[in-house]
Amino acid sequence: MTLPFGARLRHAMDERGPLCVGIDPHASLLADWGLSDDVAGVERFSRTVVEALAERVAVFKPQAAFFERFGSRGIAVLERTVADARAAGTLVLMDAKRGDIGSTMAAYAETFLHKDAPLFSDALTVSPYLGYGSLKPAVELARESGAGLFVLALTSNPEGAEVQRAVREDGRTIGATMLSHLAEENAGATPMGSFGAVVGATLGDLSAFDLDINGPLLAPGIGAQGATAADLPAVFGAAVRNVVPNVSRGVLRHGPDLAGLRDSAARFADEIRTAVASA
């Protein structure tokens, strides 16, 4: 792995389309697939998603919580899922939303961003709400490992606004402050920086925020949450080319049929390409 995450992500998006598919084995999806809500069901689910899509999508986003709920056996399944996906050439964004201070944040970073860690991933979601500076251990290790981070900035859940749109003494919102920090991290990076933001595709007009951070924008909300690919240019404006839309239930509900998963992912990818090209 010689290139930083931002460069590898840009290449993957250009080659495979800008689509991130979640690997979210929650109980209702397992039931819909006719699988048991246990470690065996989670493993079958995850292997099927990887088999169907690993050579077809740019990014997988496993949600760590759905594996962690089964303890060490579930984490072992997550380790195998990450290894299989990366071996097939798909970037893995671990959705763990870790955030803490000092040595604890450093330990979280080592869990997912150290090259020798069993759960080493290409990127990790992190929460900056103990202060952006608390993420320093993760930022430093990501740079060292050629990995990336996605920082929660403007999330799609309604509750997020009470924190992210709160106004600081300098007149900027908290969300805008996080975007500004990320722009500084990505300054001078080509073709794209490795430090991204999570920005919901369901949020409507975001022209009040400077989304040009020279880094990727992970956009949850396409599909089951109500946003469509056609909404992306209006939400993200000039930054739309760096948007990585995340689709989970919209794709996964077509399993366990491999063809159904592939057709659904291809359809979303085509719709996103069309929307970005028209912007």
- Render pLDDT for 11-20 as a digit per residue (tens, 0 to 9): 999 999 999 9
Which stretch of DSSP H or E encloses residue 263? helix 258-278
Q: What band does 2 get if pLDDT is binned at 50, 70 and 90?
A: confident
Per the prediction, the chain carries an average pLDDT of 96
Rounded average pLDDT over 25-45 = 98
Residues in the chain, how many? 279
Give the residue numbers marked as catalytic.
97
Rounded average pLDDT over 126-148 = 98
- pLDDT for the residue 100: 98
Decide: 165 and 209 in contact? Cβ < 8 Å.
no
- pLDDT for the residue 91: 98
Please list, residue by residue across 16-36, b when 16 or more beta carbons sit within 10 angstroms of its beta carbon and e when fewer do.
bbbbbbbbbbbeebbeebebe
Residue of higher predicted confidence among 2 and 270: 270
**pLDDT at 279 exceeding the cut of 90:** no
**Which residues contact residue 113 at a Cβ distance below 8 angstroms, ignoring those fewer than 6 apart?**
120, 121, 124, 138, 141, 142, 145, 147
Tokens standing for 110?
A: 């080592």
The architecture in CATH of the region 5-278 reads Alpha-Beta Barrel (3.20)
- pLDDT for the residue 255: 97
Decide: 119 and 92 in contact? Cβ < 8 Å.
no
- pLDDT for the residue 226: 80
**Euclidean distance between CA atoms 129 and 131, whole angstroms:** 5
**pLDDT at 223 exceeding the cut of 90:** no
- pLDDT for the residue 157: 92
Tokens standing for 244?
A: 């990585």
- pLDDT for the residue 7: 98
Return the SS3 of 196. Answer: strand
**Which residues contact residue 114 at a Cβ distance below 8 angstroms, ignoring those fewer than 6 apart?**
120, 141, 145
- pLDDT for the residue 225: 76
**pLDDT at 46 exceeding the cut of 90:** yes
Tokens standing for 138?
A: 């993760």
Q: Which of 99, 25, 73, 95 is nearest to 256 (CA)?
A: 25
- pLDDT for the residue 265: 96
- pLDDT for the residue 179: 98
